[in-house]
């Protein structure tokens, strides 16, 4: 137990929530990927790979949370590196499902966009915390000029991830107390560009859209969401490739109730990407509505505890860093859930720490490690045992000093005589 306490420091609530999400992920990914496992040569290959990613991520979290959070500002250097990786991905990336989002380096495939998200969080926290060195206008433009190139490069192949970073940038600058005037101007410009981009996509002929897969995909998803299919009779309802994910996701949620127990869900066999983007539907079907609510509460706990940690931080950089990491995790989680219940167009974002993944799982664990590092070294949470040991050692030294000094007093000398 003492060894565990020495290894796992920081906020205990974050650690418990982290472990619970990892357990839910193991159970549900094992259940949801069973159909693919039956078709593979090795039944255990999918879950083994997933557990490897979780293990790597946990090791990264343990290592990072032992690093003082003030040293994490070096991570701002990841921004130019991630920009270079994004450019290399566009030029010579690995094509999967018709898009170039992966890059292979030293035989390992990963998503540079996930590294870019981490870089943006650290870079923005670093810039917005330098109030004494830079004016508000300078901090604002540093963030804009640093993050927008990343957003532009990501949007060329992954519009939803780029959009998440863009919205996160606006919210983060609000947290960083950028003036309302600049915030409103930025929001107006971004909304105008978004409206203009959507108008151009819908105005382009279908022939031109077919030459750009990302634009055709955006138009298709927006059309499906804005102009849903008319209601049909149950007997004549047709499930096709356009509505397959949405329909089977709704069926899984509708059949959830009190839950069928993990491994007994029916829609995992028919729902596309049941182990990845739509795993929340399988969670509701197998663990019930209560299970789905508990998963939502776990993400809310991360956000609330991050706020508590931030309030205890005296310096701005760790304060912004912990808020940025928790905000990005929860933004992606709630976006995924909104897509699954058909409250938002299909975005292709995994459920953090639960969906089967590689780069996204490891990077999310890095966010948790950063939050724990800030809780230890920025807020002083989880170091109580170390402080007690130091105090006990100090008390012993004081007692020894007092004992030594008492022997040198005149009264002691008289007693000796």
Residue 385's pLDDT is: 54
β-strand partners of 99: 96
Please report, in tens digits, the pLDDT of each residue of the chain (417 residues total).
Answer: 676 777 788 889 999 999 999 999 999 998 888 777 777 667 787 888 889 999 999 999 999 999 998 899 999 999 999 999 999 888 877 776 666 788 888 778 888 999 999 999 999 999 999 988 888 899 999 999 999 999 988 888 788 888 899 999 999 999 888 888 898 998 899 899 888 888 877 777 777 666 666 777 777 677 766 666 555 555 566 777 677 888 888 888 988 888 888 888 888 888 888 888 899 999 999 999 999 999 999 999 999 999 999 999 989 999 999 999 999 999 999 999 999 988 888 777 899 999 988 889 999 999 999 999 999 998 888 765 554 444 445 555 444 444 544 444 434 443 444
Residues in the chain: 417
pLDDT per position as a tens digit, 28-60 = 998 888 777 777 667 787 888 889 999 999 999
The answer to the question of residue 100 being in a domain is yes
Q: Using CA atoms in the order 336, 299, 37, 285, what is the torsion angle rounded to 10 degrees?
A: -80
The answer to the question of residue 28 being in a domain is yes
CA nearest to 284, candidates 243, 263, 255:
255
The answer to the question of residue 172 being in a domain is yes
- Work out the angle between the directed axes of helices 159-175 and 180-203 (0-180°, nearest 10): 170
The answer to the question of residue 251 being in a domain is yes
Domain of 338 in residue numbering reads as: 2-404
Residue 226's pLDDT is: 67
The 3-state DSSP class for residue 269 equals helix
- Percent of the chain with pLDDT strictly greater than 70: 83
The answer to the question of residue 417 being in a domain is no
pLDDT per position as a tens digit, 88-122 = 888 877 776 666 788 888 778 888 999 999 999 99
Q: 332 to each of 153, 228, 299, 322, 351, how far by Cα in Å?
A: 19, 24, 10, 16, 7
336 half-sphere exposure, CB direction, 13 A CA radius: 29
Cβ 303 vs Cβ 326: under 8 Å: yes
The 3-state DSSP class for residue 164 equals helix
Residue 211's pLDDT is: 62
Between CA 94 and CA 99 the distance in angstroms is 8
Residue 110's pLDDT is: 85
Q: Which pTM was predicted?
A: 0.86
Residue 409's pLDDT is: 41
Residue 415's pLDDT is: 43
The answer to the question of residue 37 being in a domain is yes
Say how many domains are in the chain.
Answer: 1
């Amino acid at each position: 137990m003492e060894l565990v306490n020495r290894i796992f420091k920081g906020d205990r609530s974050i650690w418990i929530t982290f472990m619970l999400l990892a357990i839910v992920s193991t159970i549900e990914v094992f259940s949801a990927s069973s159909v693919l496992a039956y078709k593979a040569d090795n039944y255990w290959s999918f879950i083994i790979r997933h557990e490897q990613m979780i293990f790597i991520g946990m090791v990264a979290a343990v290592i990072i949370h032992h690093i003082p959070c003030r040293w994490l500002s070096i991570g701002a250097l990841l921004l130019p590196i991630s920009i270079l990786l994004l450019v290399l991905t566009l030029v010579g990336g690995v094509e999967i499902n018709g898009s170039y989002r992966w890059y292979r380096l030293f035989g390992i495939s990963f998503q540079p966009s996930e590294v870019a998200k981490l870089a943006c969080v650290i870079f923005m926290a670093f810039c917005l915390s330098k109030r004494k060195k830079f004016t508000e206008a300078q901090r604002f433009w540093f963030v804009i000029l640093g993050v927008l190139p990343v957003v532009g490069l990501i949007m060329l192949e992954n519009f939803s991830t780029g959009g998440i970073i863009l919205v996160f940038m606006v919210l983060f600058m609000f947290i960083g107390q950028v003036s309302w005037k600049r915030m409103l101007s930025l929001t107006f410009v971004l909304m105008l560009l978004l409206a203009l981009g959507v108008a151009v996509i819908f105005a382009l002929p279908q022939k031109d859209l077919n030459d750009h897969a990302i634009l055709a995909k955006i138009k298709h998803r927006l059309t499906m969401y804005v102009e849903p299919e008319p209601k049909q009779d149950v007997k004549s309802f047709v499930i096709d490739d356009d509505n397959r994910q949405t329909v089977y996701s709704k069926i899984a949620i509708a059949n959830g109730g009190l839950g069928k127990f993990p491994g007994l869900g029916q829609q995992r066999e028919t729902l596309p990407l049941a182990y990845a983007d739509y795993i929340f539907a399988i969670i509701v079907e197998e663990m019930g509505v209560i299970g789905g609510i508990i998963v939502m509460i776990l993400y809310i706990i991360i956000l609330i505890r991050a706020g508590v940690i931030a309030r205890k931080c005296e310096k701005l950089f760790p304060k912004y860093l912990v808020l940025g990491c928790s905000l990005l995790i929860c933004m992606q989680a709630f976006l995924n859930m909104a897509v699954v219940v058909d409250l938002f167009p299909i975005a292709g974002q995994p459920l953090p720490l639960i969906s089967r993944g590689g780069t996204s799982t490891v990077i999310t664990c890095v966010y948790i490690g950063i939050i724990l590092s800030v809780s230890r070294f920025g807020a002083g949470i989880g170091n109580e045992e170390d402080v007690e040991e130091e105090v006990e050692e100090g008390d012993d030294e004081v007692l020894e000093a007092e004992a030594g000094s008492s022997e040198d007093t005149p009264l002691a000398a008289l007693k000796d005589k």
